[in-house]
Every structure is written in structure tokens, then in C-alpha cells.
């Protein structure tokens, strides 16, 4: 079984590590057991907090929040996400680009 720090480092690495941080402006990283929580600049639907949990199936549960004042509102929950879809779900829900790579090319 992985330690908490190893689990959190693994999640961040799967998101893209430092490149993810630079591209999204993610900050205030916290570990909560098997979960990684972080803040984002205000994004699509006002999402500014994200929590990524590893569930009992070794898949990811992602919760998107809007924190305003003392109120924390759940905007969306995505359950049982495979690692290869993790970045896509976050990009789609937040509207933030997670890399400089673009689909297709202009010729």
C-alpha cells in the first residue's frame, strides 16, 4: 500500500507535474488521506477548488467546487475515472488548458 505522500505525488505526476501547475495556476496543494486537493484561479462555472480521490477500485473520483466567502458549493462530481481520462475530465470541467499541445495542425 502506498503512503499518503507517495499517493499524492503519484496523482500530481499523472496530472502533468510542474507543467500542470504552470498551465493551470494550481496552488495550495493539500493531502487528505488518499485525496489531493488544490485551488485554481476562477475557471469555467466558477470552479476554484478540486479534490481528486483514489477510490477502492483504484480509479479516481473528482469533485469540483466553488468557494466563495464561507460557502463551499459542489459544482460537479465525476466518479470512477481512469487515469488516462483524468486530465481530460479536469480540462473539460474547468475550461483550463493543461498543456500547450493542440489537437490537429494547421498546414
**How many DSSP H helices and E strands does the chain contain?**
3, 5
pTM: 0.85
Q: Which residues pair with 60 in a beta bridge?
A: 54, 81
pLDDT at residue 107 greater than cutoff 70: no
Using one digit for the tens of pLDDT, what is the confidence trace for 43-76?
878 999 999 999 999 999 999 999 988 899 999 9
Amino acid at each position: 500500500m502506498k503512503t499518503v505522500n507517495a499517493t499524492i505525488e503519484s496523482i500530481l505526476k499523472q496530472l502533468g507535474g510542474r507543467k500542470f501547475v504552470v498551465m493551470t495556476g494550481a496552488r495550495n496543494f493539500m493531502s487528505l488521506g488518499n485525496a489531493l486537493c488544490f485551488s485554481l484561479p476562477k475557471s469555467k462555472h466558477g470552479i476554484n477548488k478540486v479534490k481528486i480521490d483514489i477510490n477502492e477500485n483504484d480509479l479516481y473520483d473528482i469533485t469540483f467546487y466553488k468557494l466563495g466567502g464561507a460557502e463551499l458549493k459542489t459544482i460537479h462530481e465525476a466518479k470512477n475515472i481512469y487515469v488516462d481520462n483524468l486530465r481530460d475530465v479536469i480540462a473539460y470541467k474547468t475550461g483550463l488548458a493543461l498543456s500547450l499541445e493542440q489537437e490537429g495542425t494547421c498546414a
